[in-house]
Amino acid sequence: MSGVDHLHELLGLPAVDFQHETGGAARPAADAVAWRISVDPFDSDREELTWEQEFTSFLDAVDPAGVEALIIGQWGETYEETSAYPIGLVVAAADRLTSLRAVFVGDLVMEEAEISWIQQSDVTALLTAFPDLEGLGVRGSSELVFPPVKHGSLRALTIESGGLPVDVVRGVLDSELPALEVLDLWLGVSAYDGDVGLPDLAPLLAGTRFPQLHHLGLRNSEIENEIAAAVASAPVVARLRTLDLSCGTLGDEGAAALLEGQPLTHLTTLDLHHHFLTEPMEHRITAALEPHGVRVDLSERCEPWGDQGAAGRYTTVAE
């Protein structure tokens, strides 16, 4: 899961690990930070500590009514126990977490669990329990369930995966999310159950979903060139401010399709980092867009594995 770090912030608030003992130091105010709750099942000094115990201590130590952002980190052996365990505890505390506006589920890095090992669950339980939730993030897609849901407040949805199942994407796109402004999907690779195809993205690209959407990320995909070609003529692009096609297998063919399609000069940012473009194509993109004020991220030019050419391209995250 290289390329994935612990969250540094959520809802614009700095991420802070909740700790039982503060060494006498004052804790931040409940609404000043994004609180990360996690346990390490392999910590010999605290191996008996459960996520439920840690969460209970958190609710007792920090004014839960002031908490605005919550990060669910490692909840045990996350490749065996699904996120239904911590999500259920958070949902049960909904009457105390009355100001909660953002939740991220599964903030783990490679040393804790590969992204494909993180066992998720039906994360829409959080949307049902918190009608004022504005941000929902998920890392890992094994056992992930996202049935169509109605939610009037959600403004940002991120799903990070090494392989996103098509049923999850269909559930997202069939949801009624009138306030959604930011959608970031890491589509991944077929070897890890990433079976989303262009027809599955058609309702999104047609612009018939999510009327407030202004940021679209279709990232970390092994079909990034095909996505770029589809985006080049997609109606949704006209109302975007930022477009993110990073972390995938994008090459010159996909970049050329973007340049030959509809104008992109209205964007504020085009993120293509981690790509397989040649230097001449990089120059073409910057020459076409940067004079119009578009910030183009072309960092992390990659080389295919071995002598495999296009077949040797790879995403940032898979397993």
3-state secondary structure the chain: CCCCCCCCEECCEEEEECCCCCCCCCCCCCCCCEEEECCCCCCCCCCCCCHHHHHHHHHHHCCHHHCCEEEECCCCCCCCCCCHHHHHHHHHCCCCCCCCCEEEECCCCCCCCCHHHCECCECHHHHHHCCCCCEEEEECCECCECCCCECCCCCEEEEECCECCHHHHHHHHCCECCCCCEEEEEEECHHHCCCCCHHHHHHHHCCCCCCCCCEEEEEEECCHHHHHHHHCCCHHHHHCCEEECCCCCCEHHHHHHHHHCCCCCCCCEEECCCEECCHHHHHHHHHHHHHHCCEEECCCECCCCCCCHHHHCCCCCCC
Residue 105 pLDDT exceeds 80 = yes
pLDDT for residue 218? 98
Domain ranges in the chain? 1-145, 159-319
pLDDT at 263 over 80: yes
pLDDT in tens, 282-294: 999 999 999 999 9
**Under CATH, to which class is 159-319 assigned?**
alpha beta
Tell the CATH topology of 1-145.
3.80.10
Q: Is the pLDDT of residue 295 over 50?
A: yes
Position 159 scores a pLDDT of 98
Closest CA to 288 of 296, 297, 277, 300: 296
Q: Predicted confidence band at 307 (pLDDT cuts at 50, 70, 90)?
A: confident
CA-to-CA distance for 276 and 291, rounded, in angstroms?
Answer: 23
What's the pLDDT score for residue 45?
Answer: 63
| Predicted confidence band of residue 1 (pLDDT cuts 50, 70, 90) | very low
pLDDT on residue 234? 98
Question: Hey, do 1-145 and 159-319 end up sharing a CATH topology, with the first three levels equal?
Answer: yes
Query: Average pLDDT over the chain, rounded to whole?
Result: 95
Which of the residue ranges 72-86, 138-152, 205-219 would you say has the lowest mean pLDDT? 72-86
Of 37-46, 67-76, 157-166, the range with the lowest mean pLDDT is 37-46
Structure tokens at 7: 């969250």
